[in-house]
Amino acid sequence: MNKERKLIIAGNWKMNKTASEALALVKALKLELTNIKEVDVVVCPPFTALAEVAKAVLESNIRLGAQNMSEQGNGAFTGEIAAGMLKEFSVRYVILGHSERRQYQKESNELISKKAHAAHAASLHPIVCVGETLAEREGGQMEKVLETQVRGSLAGLTAEQMDDTVIAYEPVWAIGTGRTATTAQAQETHAFIRKLLVSMFNQAVSRRVRIQYGGSVKPSNARELMGQPDVDGALVGGASLDARSFSEIIKNSI
């Protein structure tokens, strides 16, 4: 597939897989994906599996991501994980502001932007998630909601930092529901976000930033979604928990 930006496909394993299960999954993925160079492949296991998975992906084409991190560098923040701790496991990417964290942990755009700054300070590449609910889409609020999330979550980042930032557009109504945005809906929304980046930064930044689509991506819909000009990859939940389906998504996207 001829793309303006290199595709980045990340698996968000969420709160699934013990360390030994994660190791088995990543070993199977390595076998499936040995020759893949066309796509940046990232896996995001739970924190407890990072050490095992980090060792397994050494010298492979699979990169490691975390699912969250603290906006703080260290200190009395019980239960939190700092960017520096992730770096020790060769983590390169970190998912920030996933809709599940926005919903259950009440993460605000302001907090997500603080985390994005902390990630960049540690040379981690944030994958910043945005997305509207079904009620917001049906109520005609989608663009307003997305604009608030994109401006708020990326507040204060420089153009250079944007080059190392990925945006994941994940309509909340499509996550884990089996319901996928149509290719037209995905393209239209990605184009809207890209246009927003022109007004926030500039044309060059907007052309370089990779925008992933997330929401019930599977082997059968990956090719069509990735074929859209402004869709630069995928953030995959459920289908990333199985080596065969995640690698088929990647292979079908090339």
**Binders in 204-243 for ligand PEP, by CB under 6 A:** 214-217, 235-239
Considering CB under 6 A, how many residues would be counted as binding ligand PEP? Answer: 13
As a whole number of Å, the end-to-end CA separation of the chain is 5
Question: Cα 97–125–169 angle (5° rounding)?
Answer: 45
Residue with the shortest CB distance to ligand PEP: 237
Shortest Cβ 204–ligand PEP spacing (Å)? 28
**Binders in 10-39 for ligand PEP, by CB under 6 A:** 12
Shortest Cβ 240–ligand PEP spacing (Å)? 7
d(CA 252, CA 254): 6
When asked if residue 46 is in the footprint of ligand PEP (CB under 6 A), the reply is no
Catalytic residues: 98, 170
Residue listed under structure tokens 């090719």: 223
Question: For residues 84 and 219, which CB has a smaller minimum distance to ligand PEP in the complex?
Answer: 219
Q: How crowded is the C-beta side of 64, counted as CA atoms within 13 Å?
A: 25
Neighbours of 249 (CB within 10 A): 25
Question: For residues 97 and 237, which CB has a smaller minimum distance to ligand PEP in the complex?
Answer: 237
Question: For residues 12 and 113, which CB has a smaller minimum distance to ligand PEP in the complex?
Answer: 12
Sign of torsion, CA 143 232 174 223? positive
Shortest Cβ 8–ligand PEP spacing (Å)? 13
Query: 43 with 11: CB under 8 angstroms?
Result: yes
Looking at the DSSP assignment, which residues form a beta bridge with residue 7? 39
**Binders in 171-190 for ligand PEP, by CB under 6 A:** 175-176
Binding site for ligand PEP (CB under 6 A): 12, 170, 175-176, 214-217, 235-239
